[in-house]
């Protein structure tokens, strides 16, 4: 049988287990996977573009597990009709048989894994004394970023900005649950990042946007760029990219989708997995600008699929579903069409 986790079950799991515990344990799974980077069969995601969005498939496998995610990106058209910009689901299968062990929601899980990926990179790249963050963009992903940076990195002061004031109010309201975190609503993107140790850009627009411009950058900043993740969809000004040491997930994918799509192919970028694995240095000096040009890679979804499966088993939640037929005779698939329940359904329809 396949374990099925819908979005309500996943939400309850996070609530029951604790958001901080969930993120910290997921970080452990993700670091393990990034340290095994070379063991994975990796590829850039497959993207189907339309005028207003994209639908992507993201597979990855090691010798034991195969995972994939289906995800879309439709900013700003989806929010304009009351739907999420990003929606996702996925599966984890046994490589030895191909049997899908888990079918799961991945919308909530994507927000959790993206925030955990961001802190994994920031642990490796930001100055260790970082206590303040400016976050531009207050949509669906934003609270997860704020909570991960507060609880894992130790951010104490968070300045937020969004062109949508209601979105800013929503974030400030949700973060009241974290009394040790001071949240300040900024009047502009520039005011949001002024003096910040870490800058997170998590906006959504289907455009070559320049959310971060050179005049906003200060020595030693770490930039956690989340929303430049599709061809023709960027957040960071070209001159900011040129001023920093850039780190990426899967370089062939990021070259096409990340903010670095603005740079020539020969511009050097650094694999974040090598820093996580302790094979290469991250930041070289205290004053250096470091940039994590995140687009979201299949391995992060693989980690969250592995983690939520283990956690669901531990908590005894989820539903066992017969997604794949269990046959007495594996060669008799046709026999399924002769089951009494199938024929009675046909009679009802008729
Ligand atoms: N890198 C990754 O792994 C990853 C994962 C998930 C989502 N994303 C990306 O993160 C971004 C945010 O996703 P979301 O689900 O929160 O989207 P969302 O639509 O819920 O929120 C985006 C917010 O950005 C704001 N915004 C747009 N333009 C702005 C501007 N110029 N200045 C300030 N605010 C602006 C919007 O008002 C909105 O509140 C998207 O671009 C998405 O594609 C990346």
> What are the sequence ranges of the domains in the chain?
2-108+300-333, 123-297
Q: What is the pLDDT of residues 172-224, one digit of tens each?
A: 999 999 999 999 999 999 999 999 999 999 999 989 999 999 999 999 999 99
Closest atom of ligand 1 to CA, residue 71: 6
Instruction: Give one DSSP letter per residue of 190-211, joined into a string.
Output: HHHHTT-SEEEE----SSEEEE
Hey, what CATH topology would domain 123-297 get? Rossmann fold (3.40.50)
The candidate with the shortest Cα–Cα distance to 279, out of 28, 34, 33, 24, is: 34
Q: How far is the CA of 262 from the centre of ligand 1 (A)?
A: 19
Alpha carbon distance 222, 236 (integer Å): 13
Nearest CA to ligand 1 atom 33: 162
Q: How far is the CA of 319 from the centre of ligand 1 (A)?
A: 32
- Whether 134 is in the pocket of ligand 1, judged by its Cβ within 6 Å, is no
Backbone dihedral angles phi then psi of residue 202, each to the nearest 5 degrees:
-140, 50
* H or E element at residue 167: helix 165-174
Query: Quick check: pTM over 0.75?
Result: yes
Domain 2-108+300-333, CATH homologous superfamily name and number: ornithine cyclodeaminase, domain 1 (3.30.1780.10)
- Whether 226 is in the pocket of ligand 1, judged by its Cβ within 6 Å, is yes
Other CB atoms within a 10 A radius of the CB of residue 78 amount to 18
Sign for the pseudo-dihedral over CA of 318, 141, 111, 323: positive
Q: How far apart are the first and last CA of the chain?
A: 31
Report, in angstroms and rounded to the nearest whole number, the Rg of the chain calculated over CA atoms: 21
Alpha carbon distance 71, 58 (integer Å): 8
Asked, colleague to colleague, whether 2-108+300-333 and 123-297 share their fold, the answer is no
- Whether 200 is in the pocket of ligand 1, judged by its Cβ within 6 Å, is no
Q: How far is the CA of 20 from the centre of ligand 1 (A)?
A: 22
How does residue 346 score in pLDDT terms, banded at 50, 70 and 90? very low
- Whether 136 is in the pocket of ligand 1, judged by its Cβ within 6 Å, is yes
Q: What is the pLDDT of residues 33-91, one digit of tens each?
A: 999 999 999 999 999 999 999 999 999 999 999 999 999 999 999 999 999 999 999 99
Nearest CA to ligand 1 atom 26: 203
Average pLDDT of the residues of the chain = 96
Active site residue 229: yes
- Whether 203 is in the pocket of ligand 1, judged by its Cβ within 6 Å, is yes
Q: How far is the CA of 36 from the centre of ligand 1 (A)?
A: 30
pLDDT > 80? residue 340: no
- Whether 75 is in the pocket of ligand 1, judged by its Cβ within 6 Å, is yes
Q: How far is the CA of 204 from the centre of ligand 1 (A)?
A: 3
Active-site residue (options: 33, 162, 197, 229):
229
């Amino acid at each position: 049988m396949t374990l099925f986790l819908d979005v309500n079950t996943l939400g309850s799991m996070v609530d029951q287990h604790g958001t901080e515990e969930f993120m910290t344990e997921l970080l452990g799974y993700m670091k393990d996977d990034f340290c095994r980077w070379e063991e994975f069969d990796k590829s850039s995601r497959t993207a189907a573009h339309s005028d207003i969005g994209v639908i992507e498939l993201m597979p990855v496998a090691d010798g034991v597990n195969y995972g994939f995610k289906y995800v879309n990106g439709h900013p700003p058209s989806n929010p304009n009709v009351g739907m999420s910009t990003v929606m996702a689901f996925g599966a984890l299968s046994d490589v030895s048989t191909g049997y899908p062990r888990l079918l799961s929601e991945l919308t909530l899980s994507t927000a959790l894994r993206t925030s955990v990926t961001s802190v994994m990179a920031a642990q490796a790249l930001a100055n260790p004394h970082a206590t303040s963050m400016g976050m531009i963009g207050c949509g669906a992903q934003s609270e997860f970023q704020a909570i991960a940076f507060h609880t894992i990195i130790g951010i104490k002061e968070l300045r937020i900005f969004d062109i949508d004031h209601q979105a800013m109010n929503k974030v400030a309201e949700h973060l009241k649950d974290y009394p040790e975190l001071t949240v300040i609503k900024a009047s502009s993107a520039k005011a949001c990042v002024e003096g910040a140790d870490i800058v997170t850009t998590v906006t959504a627009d289907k455009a070559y946007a320049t959310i971060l411009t050179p005049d906003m950058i200060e020595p030693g900043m770490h930039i956690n760029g989340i929303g430049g993740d599709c061809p023709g969809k960027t957040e960071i000004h070209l001159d900011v990219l040129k001023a920093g040491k850039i780190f990426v997930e899967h370089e062939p994918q990021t070259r096409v989708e990340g903010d670095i799509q603005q740079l020539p192919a020969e511009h050097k970028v650094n694999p974040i997995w090598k820093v996580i694995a302790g094979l290469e240095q991250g930041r070289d000096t205290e004053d250096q600008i470091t940039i994590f040009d995140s687009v979201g890679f299949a391995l992060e979804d693989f980690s969250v699929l592995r983690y939520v499966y283990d956690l669901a088993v531990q908590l005894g939640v989820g539903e066992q579903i017969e997604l794949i037929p269990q046959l007495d005779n594996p060669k008799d698939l046709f026999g399924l069409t002769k089951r009494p329940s199938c024929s009675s359904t046909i009679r009802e329809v008729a």
